[in-house]
Chain A
Amino acid sequence: MELVLATAIGVMTGCGVWLILRPRTYQVIVGLSLLSYAVNLFIFGVGGVKTNVPPILVDGVPNSTLADPVPQALVLTAIVIGFATTALFLVVLLASRGLTGTDHVDGRNDPR
């Protein structure tokens, strides 16, 4: 399980890094989304990979067998904040596109 998850994180990181280095704003926004998936999964993975033991207290089940709730709480807010930053970035890119007429990240097509 860990191997699959680690590979997935690696691939998403690689794709994300590649995309945020591209010159078009849309690519950067998609790249950031991919990167945030990777980072969220990574943080989540730090707590250990366990199946079928959600951190919900049930009488009779010892607490120590449950999944670690702390990374989950961190990631949960990270997901929501991630949405907010995506929205903000999207609007900034739209405004920049409206002002400069291009969707290049530097606001001009000819790289100096």
Chain B
Amino acid sequence: MAGATALLSLLIVASFYPSVTNGGVLRFEGTWLPQLGLNFTLRMDGFAWLFSMLIAGIGFLVVVYARYYMSEDDPVPRFFSFLLAFMGAMLGIVISGNVILLSVFWELTSIFSFLLISYWHNNAAARDGARMALTITGIGGFCLLIGLLLLGNIVGSYDLDKILAAGDVIRGHSLYVPALVFILLGALTKSAQFPFHFWLPNAMSAPTPVSAYLHSATMVKAGVFLLVRFWPVLSGTYEWFYLVGLAGIITLVLGAYFAMFQQDLKGLLAYSTISHLGLITTLLSLGSPLATVAAIFHMVNHATFKASLFMAAGIIDHETGTRDMRRLSGLFRYLPITGTLAMVASAAMAGVPLLNGFLSKEMFFAEAVETHADSILDRILPYVATLASAFSVAYSLRFIHTVFFGPPPTDLPKPKPHEPPRWMRFPIDLLVVACLIVGIIPAISIGPFLHTAVVSVLGPETPEYSLSIWHGVNLPLIMSAIALVGGTLLYLSLRKYLATCEDGPPILRNLKGQRIFERVLVEVSWRWARSLERRFGTRNLQPQLRWVVATGFLAGLLPLYLSGFETRDIAFSGIDPAFAAIWLLGICLAFGTAYLAKYHRLAALVMLGGVGLIVCITFVWLSAPDLAITQLLVEIVTTVLILLGLRWLPKRTEGLAESITLRARFRRFRDLALAVVCGIGMTFIAYAVMTMPVPDTIANYFLENAYSQGGGRNVVNVILVDFRGFDTLGEIAVLGVVALTVFALLRRFRPADDSMDLPEQQRIQNSFDEDRPERSAGDTVRDYLLVPSVIMTWLFPVIITFAVYIFMRGHDMPGGGFSAGLTLSIAFLLQYLAGGTRWAEDRLRILPLRWMGAGILTASATGIGAWFFGYPFLTSHFQYVELPLIGKMPAATALLFDLGVFSLVVGSTVLILVALAHQSIRINRLRAIDAARTEEG
């Protein structure tokens, strides 16, 4: 399956070839976020084509290889899905025609490489390596995004074609340097260039197919791909030369030097990859078209020989059980074919003539000798290049010599290595043959494709170059010879030391980038975070709230302070004395509530209810009858609710255990000050807002269209159920969720021990019963409030009728689903109050969950119903119908919606209250169980 996908994409890419030759560009554009200039643009030119071929081709080979490499116990589907996802992301980078899209795909490759590297997630090294790779490339990706945004800002478009056409504008812009630095950070981290190189060797704990794919052909190539992509617009400046060149040269030498001293096969290959990427980067830094040709050529060559080498290393690991070069030796007698293939591939890596590595290396030498920018860096380049090349010869030689020659191995974990299955070796066969073909007849095999790619990058600047093996005896050839001889000598002299030494180069062995990285990580993510938390964090609610309130106050003050105060005359005229008197009472009640809430909860609750009533009167007074009704009903329900809750709170009596410390006094004073300033601030703001001349608001729209479009005269109700019906649907959903949460919380509720006894009043009443022989226990409790309870029982049908009435008139007069729902739940509530929970439930079966479900379904179905008539969600329809007895009656679909609201409000309210009321019964049961247990014990 995976192989078929890869092969198919390979074929698709290959089929595009005719359209990209001679600088043709294939484009696909899909609109994504056109407002931001962000389109889903795909674009394929020759270079992208070449790269896509590499990605899809090597991807296919890796899939074939992995089929044999992965063991049966591994979750293989996960592996292949990650691998294909990675391949897709990589193709996305290559062919995206919009730089933001490119950055998105870039991030995707980081994420999928993380998943692939940590594939064996029970291995700590794999997890660490993956995390490091993700951190480094993730930071790089973020920098890249910044850089690309800057670039897009300079050009004025995120479209790749436009950016590529604006090279001069970009190089001349003042933001060129920051954009360059950020883009380079992205590219260099991805390509593991110094000083970000250390993640690559640590990523070697990935399964070998992953390494072969990610760390030879794709992931790390994304960085240099990006450099080539933007080479036409960014290169040619001193900043480019120094930044890219310095990183490239250091990486080139250091990578090769480190590679020589690795004991792990894959470690050696990893450092060699770093070094080769350094070579490509160095070539790109030179800024000459010819060097860029060499860079592109070397990318392809490196991908072929390095992928095959990784696969060969995987086979060795697979067959012998180890990758440690100190333990491997003389494997040629067991693995002759793999050995031959590996030898050819590493010869290509070393740059031996007749192989593809040789060609691009010759081109590199030729470019190194040329002077591009006269500086020290440029002058030392030939020597550095030769040195690095010698190192590269040495480690290639070491790879082959240690593993395949010498005495037979003695302590292998798997003692009898043999050749792998035919198809496991097939990818290597193919790649090595490719190395040979390209190496011997370059002009015919790779020539045209390379030319296509080069033309698409360089355009008219495409230089004359010749891909042939023999250019005559010239300086590059002599350098190659020196490197070959020098590398061989170097290996021979170091052989003894290498056979036994520790992992890593001498002296620098202890200086590990990994360790530095980890220390920084621990410092930032652990110590700093902890100390910040210790200094500024608190787990106590009060300081948190204090900060919230104070910040809120300042946030309110700041704009006033900045824009200046405007004094306005305070108008005392026009105040209705009755209204003022009511609020004088209200203010007293509010103060009383605040003062008494600590010790006299019931009194505070009564006063709170008083404030609520006055708010309600205010609504009536100020032309808001709907609000008044709702406020009144909610007030009733809330009071009952809190009354039910009061029973479970601890007793608190004044003056007990309260020695007020100075600190507490200070705290109270501070809170008081905060409260006072907040109050005063609110007064001013409220006054200012209310006396402001009201501008033309959307109110007029609603007032004008309520009747013509919503079919109702009560504009508030029409807004709720029609114009803003979707908001209301959301709100009743919230109400339902809250009710369910309350219900769920109370199911596991267990009160504190001191609330477990019967309430004091009930105890007094029960003992009164026990004292008198003619009364049985519980009589007084039952007869308590006898007259009111009879009235309440009789009121039940009346209230229900009232609820229906409120509901029906809601569209035209004050009322509606919310208030009707609350009314009906009060009707139910009164039955509970009148007869007690058991009595009520014997006679009434209310299923609040059904009410709620029916409510939300009705409301949603009404909304969906509009779809069937071709209207958007929740479009309402109305007409007046003639009903017998009642008369003319508005029948809008909004009424159905309101029915849903009504039903849900009833269900939720009843559910909350009943769940709380049930606790008393539950506790009685709990108490009985406890008592039984004590007796047993």
Contacts and interface: CB of A to CB of B under 8 A. Distances in A.
Nearest to B812: A56
Given A21-B546, A26-B649, A79 B630 contact: yes
A2 B690 contact: yes
Interface string A81-104: 111111110111111011111110
Q: Is the interface of B mostly helix, strand, loop or mixed?
A: helix
Contact of A19 (B541, B597, B700): B597
Nearest to B752: A101
Contacts of A111: 540, 542
A93 B268 CA distance: 63
A56 B622 contact: no
A64 B667 CA distance: 50
Interface string B54-89: 000000000000000000000000000000000000
A20 to B, nearest CB: 6
Interface stretch (B441-449, B678-686, B832-840, B880-888): B678-686
A89 B597 CA distance: 16
Given A45-B690, A97-B752, A73 B612 contact: no
Contacts of B916: 90-91
A33 to B, nearest CB: 6
Contact of A47 (B634, B699, B719, B814): B699
Interface string B629-651: 01100100110011001001110
Interface residues on B, range: 35 or more
A3 B571 contact: yes
A21 B549 contact: yes
B586 interface: yes
B608 interface: yes
B576 A84 contact: no
B713 A58 contact: yes
Contacts of B615: 37, 40-41
A82 B148 CA distance: 47
Q: Is the interface of A mostly helix, strand, loop or mixed?
A: helix
Contacts of A85: 738
Interface string B528-550: 00000000000111100110010
Nearest to B818: A80
B715 A87 contact: no
B864 to A, nearest CB: 22
B720 A77 contact: yes
Contact of A8 (B571, B583, B593): B583
A95 B751 CA distance: 7
B130 interface: no
Contacts of B683: 6-7, 9-11
A66 B724 CA distance: 20
A66 to B, nearest CB: 6
Contacts of B908: 84
Nearest to A82: B634
Contacts of B648: 94, 97-98
A57 B707 contact: yes
B715 A42 contact: no
Contacts of A91: 645, 741-742, 745-746, 749, 912, 916
A1 B574 contact: yes
A64 B700 contact: yes
B686 A42 contact: yes
Contacts of B690: 2, 5-6, 45-46, 48-49
B731 A18 contact: no
B626 interface: yes
Given A88-B741, A91-B746, A98-B648, A2 B687 contact: yes
Given A14-B676, A84-B734, A98-B648, A69 B702 contact: yes
B861 interface: no
A45 B686 contact: yes
B627 to A, nearest CB: 6
Contacts of A15: 590-591, 593-594, 675, 679
Contacts of A64: 700, 703
Contacts of B731: 77, 80-81
B806 to A, nearest CB: 14
B623 to A, nearest CB: 4
Contacts of A6: 683-684, 686-687, 690
B176 interface: no
Given A14-B679, A69-B702, A27 B674 contact: no
Interface string A26-69: 11011101100110111011111111111111100001101111
A23 B667 CA distance: 11
Interface stretch (B223-231, B338-346, B598-606): B598-606
Nearest to A65: B703
B201 to A, nearest CB: 47
Given A17-B549, A54-B626, A97-B649, 12 more contacts: A5-B618, A5-B622, A5-B686, A8-B587, A14-B676, A21-B549, A29-B642, A30-B608, A91-B916, A92-B745, A94-B648, A105-B540
Interface of A: 1-24, 26-27, 29-31, 33-34, 37-38, 40-42, 44-58, 63-64, 66-70, 72-73, 75-77, 79-88, 90-95, 97-103, 105-106, 111-112
23 contacts: A1-B579, A4-B575, A5-B686, A8-B583, A14-B676, A14-B678, A14-B679, A20-B545, A26-B649, A30-B594, A41-B618, A48-B694, A51-B621, A57-B703, A63-B700, A72-B626, A73-B724, A80-B822, A88-B741, A94-B645, A98-B755, A102-B752, A106-B542
